[in-house]
Structure 1
Amino acid sequence: MKTLLAAIVFALFSSLTAAAETPDASAFFAATLHNPDDKPAALSRFKGKPLVVNFWARWCPPCRAEIPELNAFQKTHQGRIEVVGIGIEDDAAAVKTFVREHAMNYPVFLARDQGQSLMTALGNRRGGLPYTLFIDRHGRVVGQKLGLLRKGDLDAITPQLLAR
C-alpha cells in the first residue's frame, strides 16, 4: 500500500514538474557562492551526489515552514542525499543567525546578487520562493518544485535521486 501511495504521489509530483522545461544543472555546479561565514564556496564540490537544492529567504513564510522537513530529510538520508540551502540573501551575519536559530543541519550558502539569475538558469523563470531542484548523482535534474515543499514531495522524488 505504501508503495502504491508513493507511486501515486510521484506521478502527481512528476506532472507538476513535467510542464516546465527540464533545466540543466550545470549552472549550479559552476556557481561559487558564500557560506554564512562569508567565505567563497564552489558548488562543484557537490558533483556526483544526489541533491535537494532549496532556494529560500528569511522573510518568506513558506520557506521557513519547510525547514523542519528539510532538516528531517537530511537527517534520514545523511550520506546518501545532500540537502543544500541557497539563501537569496546578502547579509551573511543575519543568515548565520537564522541558520543557527532554525537548527539547519545542511550546508547553506548566500546567493547575493546571483540569486535571481541562478534560479532562472535552473528553471525558475517566475522567480518565486521557495524553489527546490532535485539533481541525481549524474548531475541531471530529475524534478523541481516552486512553492512549499512537503514530506510527500520528498518521499516521491527519493527513488529517482537514489537510482543508479
Structure 2
Amino acid sequence: MNKLFAACIFAVFSSLTVAADAPQPEAFFAATLADPDDKPVALASFRGKPLVVNFWARWCPPCRAEIPELNAFRKAQAGKVEVVGIGIEDDAPAVKAFVREYAMNYPVFLARNQGQPLMQALGNRRGGLPYTLFIDRHGRVVGHKLGLLRKSDLDNILPQLLAP
C-alpha cells in the first residue's frame, strides 16, 4: 500500500494526455465488476456512450478532492457523457458508505483484485491514483490522466468526447 500511496501523491502533479499515446479500451468493456450492493455489472453495458472512467480509492486524498468536479460534470453533461467510478476496493459496505458520504451521483464499482491489472491494461503502467480515462461514443480512448482531475481537464476533453 505504501507504493500505491506514493504513486497517488506523485499523481497529483501529472497532466492530461490526449489521444497520441492512447491505450486501448477493450479491457474496460470486457470487465465485469461489482456495484456497491455487490451485484455484478458488465461494463460492456456502457459501450456506445461517451465516458469518463475514474479509478480511485477511499484512502487517496486527490481521489476524494476530485469527486465534486466529477459530480458537477456529470450533472452538467446529463444524457451526453457518463461518468463511471471504479474503486480499487474490496469492501462493498465501506464503499457504499463512502459513496453516500461524498454524494457520488455516478455509477460506482468495486474493482477488487482486478483493479491494478485493469488500470495497467488501460494505460496506467505506474499504478497511481487517481487515474481517469476518456472514451468517446465510438469506443476510442481520446485521453487519459494520471493525477488530480480538474474542471479545466474536463472542459478541455469534452469536445473530443462529444465529437461525432
Provide the TM-score with structure 2 as the length reference. 0.89
Instruction: Quote the residue 1:45 is aligned against.
Output: 45
**CA deviation profile, 1:1-40 (whole Å, cap 9, x unmatched):** xxxxxxxxxxxxxx85159731000100000000000010
**Distance in 1 between residues matched to 2:95 and 2:21, nearest whole Å:** 31
**Distance in 2 between residues matched to 1:150 and 1:64, nearest whole Å:** 12
Q: Supply the AA of the counterpart residue of 1:71.
A: N
**Distance in 2 between residues matched to 1:160 and 1:16, nearest whole Å:** 13
Question: Aligned residues, how many?
Answer: 150
1:153 aligns with 2:161: no
**Distance in 1 between residues matched to 2:20 and 2:112, nearest whole Å:** 26
Tell me the SS of whatever aligns to 2:145. strand
Summarize the Cα distance change of 1:63–1:20 in structure 2 as closer, same or farther, 3 Å threshold. Answer: farther
Summarize the Cα distance change of 1:88–1:102 in structure 2 as closer, same or farther, 3 Å threshold. Answer: same
Instruction: Quote the residue 1:89 is aligned against.
Output: 89
1:105 aligns with 2:105: yes
Tell me the SS of whatever aligns to 2:63. helix
Q: Supply the AA of the counterpart residue of 2:64.
A: R
- Segments of 5+ residues of structure 2 without an aligned counterpart are 1-14
Which structure has the bigger radius of gyration?
A: 1
Q: Supply the AA of the counterpart residue of 1:89.
A: E
**CA deviation profile, 1:108-136 (whole Å, cap 9, x unmatched):** 00000000000000000000000000000
Instruction: Quote the residue 1:62 is aligned against.
Output: 62
Instruction: Quote the residue 1:136 is aligned against.
Output: 136
Instruction: Quote the residue 1:4 is aligned against.
Output: none
Provide the TM-score with structure 1 as the length reference. 0.89
Runs of 4+ more than 6 Å apart: none
Tell me the SS of whatever aligns to 1:17. strand
**Distance in 2 between residues matched to 1:118 and 1:108, nearest whole Å:** 15
Higher relative contact order, chain-length normalized (CA < 8 Å, sep 6+): 2
Q: Which moved more, 1:101-110 or 1:18-27?
A: 18-27
Alpha-carbon RMSD: 1.3
**CA deviation profile, 1:63-98 (whole Å, cap 9, x unmatched):** 000000000000000100000000000000000000
Contact kept? 2:19, 2:141, Cα under 8 Å: no
- Segments of 5+ residues of structure 1 without an aligned counterpart are 1-14
